[in-house]
Chain A
Amino acid sequence: RKEVEQDPGPFNVPEGATVAFNCTYSNSASQSFFWYRQDCRKEPKLLMSVYSSGNEDGRFTAQLNRASQYISLLIRDSKLSDSATYLCVVTRASNYGQNFVFGPGTRLSVLP
């Protein structure tokens, strides 16, 4: 089982739709959590950090449930420019320090 798993996708949604991404992680020692987005042929970029209390940034809402080892990302009123691959990322301590572990990503296409 992969350490970080995500919805396989792709998600094809019309503009204005609300879309939710799910992510689970297997290592209970995971310490920090993020959502990144990666546009086609570009580098991953931080979208938002995820806190236990949940956090919102405009149309984006992230939730973390440590007990269930589950992370979610909700995008409201989706725009064409939201089309990208969304990567769930967790960090965990290792013998060498912090490891950033990336999920396989879920691709989103927002259609006109």
Chain B
Amino acid sequence: DTAVSQTPKYLVTQMGNDKSIKCEQNLGHDTMYWYKQDSKKFLKIMFSYNNKELIINETVPNRFSPKSPDKAHLNLHINSLELGDSAVYFCASSQVDSRGVWFGETQYFGPGTRLLVL
């Protein structure tokens, strides 16, 4: 069974479009994350949600809006796509409670969504 899944796997779109990436985890974790890995392969956190509540919001353009309908899902919506948004976006999950106390488990990553903006 896939622990963390993302859709779509590939996304090719034009500049200016709006697109969404979906993520689901079946691990029962309370915390989910979105990371961006750019062409230089550097993996950087964008957002983190704990039990549907935003707990980490790094410096990300407000064109990026995460949405967590429940603790098993964290979707990423991107408005007005730009060329520089081209990257691989990874979703991840781990077990951290709302106080940020971490239970010692590491993160599990989804397979990634390869976004290409033309």
Instruction: Identify the A interface with B (CB < 8 A).
Output: 31-32, 34, 41-46, 49, 85, 87, 89, 91, 93-94, 96-102, 104-105
Contacts and interface: CB of A to CB of B under 8 A. Distances in A.
Interface residues of B, number: 30
B42 A104 contact: yes
A11 to B, nearest CB: 15
Which of B40, B102, B107 has the most chain A CB atoms inside 10 A of its CB?
A: B107
B56 A96 contact: yes
B50 A49 contact: no
B83 interface: no
B56 to A, nearest CB: 5
Interface of B: 31, 33, 35, 40-45, 48, 50, 55-57, 90, 94, 96, 98-102, 104, 106-112
Given A96-B55, A97-B50, A97-B56, A44 B45 contact: no
Contacts of A94: 56, 100
Q: Classify the interface of chain B: helix, strand, loop or mixed.
A: strand
Q: Classify the interface of chain A: helix, strand, loop or mixed.
A: strand
A102 B42 CA distance: 8
17 contacts: A31-B102, A41-B112, A42-B111, A43-B90, A43-B111, A45-B109, A87-B43, A91-B102, A93-B100, A96-B48, A96-B55, A97-B55, A97-B98, A98-B100, A102-B42, A104-B40, A104-B41
Contacts of B100: 93-94, 96-98
B9 to A, nearest CB: 11
Given A98-B96, A100-B94, A104-B41, 11 more contacts: A31-B102, A44-B109, A49-B106, A89-B106, A93-B100, A97-B99, A97-B100, A99-B56, A100-B45, A100-B107, A102-B43
